[in-house]
Structure 1
Amino acid sequence: MAIEQEIQAKSLTAPRVTSDHIESIIQSEHYFTAYDGAKSGGEEVEQIWHDKDDIGKEYEPLSLLTFCVLVLRNGFTVTGESACASPENFDPEIGRKIARENAVNKIWML
């Protein structure tokens, strides 16, 4: 028997945290990759960035790491991340979905 069915079968009616409640307390969501973060890290990082000949290979892993920051209505923030092991499988939309899911899972612990 699934947990939800068991709860209903036992007539447990006390208030519970639900997925809808979790979604309702999210005020905003923000996404970026580690590559985005490194690029906006300041002039020194930018200079190093432009001086590299083989920039793609050295910094490609940063573009495969996606972060999601959820700002909750009370001002608290939670983060989630998604790292793609294989560059050939990287899809930005899927990375954002996984990062968001990981961030939402942290809200349950609050």
Structure 2
Amino acid sequence: MSDNKITREHIESVIEKKDFHKIKGTTITLCVLTLKNGYTVTGESACVDPENFDDEIGKQVAYQHAFEKIWRLEGYLLQQKLFDDCQDKTAG
């Protein structure tokens, strides 16, 4: 994370491990991303027609959904850091 910008590279750097699970008897794929601090984030995908199910596409979509959640969390952290820095400057 730069001073005021979150990059794809930063998000990728906080991911320690990724696991995928297909729910038996469904077209649901889950992605569990474990971050370096131990926190986990999940993403999911599903296909309406089982005949159209593609394992790799399911994994890609589930990963992207989890990745976007991390982006929001990192955005919150950045906003809090910027807020705290601003408070420190006005207090000092």
For residues 52 and 68 of structure 2, the distance between their equivalents in structure 1, rounded to whole angstroms, comes to 24
Residue 24, structure 1, aligned to residue 35, structure 2: no
Distance 1:89 1:101, change over 3 A: same
* Corresponding residue for residue 107 of structure 1: 70
For residues 29 and 90 of structure 1, the distance between their equivalents in structure 2, rounded to whole angstroms, comes to 21
1:14 positional shift: 4.4
The count of residues paired between Structure 1 and Structure 2 equals 72
For residues 68 and 55 of structure 2, the distance between their equivalents in structure 1, rounded to whole angstroms, comes to 20
Map 1:1-110 to 2 at 5 A. 14-35=3-24, 59=25, 62=26, 64-110=27-73
For residues 104 and 97 of structure 1, the distance between their equivalents in structure 2, rounded to whole angstroms, comes to 10
How many percent identity over aligned positions?
A: 49
1:15 positional shift: 2.8
For residues 88 and 34 of structure 1, the distance between their equivalents in structure 2, rounded to whole angstroms, comes to 16
Structure showing greater Rg: 1
For residues 32 and 99 of structure 1, the distance between their equivalents in structure 2, rounded to whole angstroms, comes to 10
In the alignment, residue 23 of structure 2 is paired with which amino acid?
Answer: A
Give the 4+ runs in structure 1 shifted more than 4 A.
none
Which string of whole-angstrom CA distances, capped at 9 and with x for unpartnered residues, describes residues 48-88 of structure 1?
A: xxxxxxxxxxx3xx2x1000000000111000000001112
TM-score (norm 2): 0.73
TM-score (norm 1): 0.62
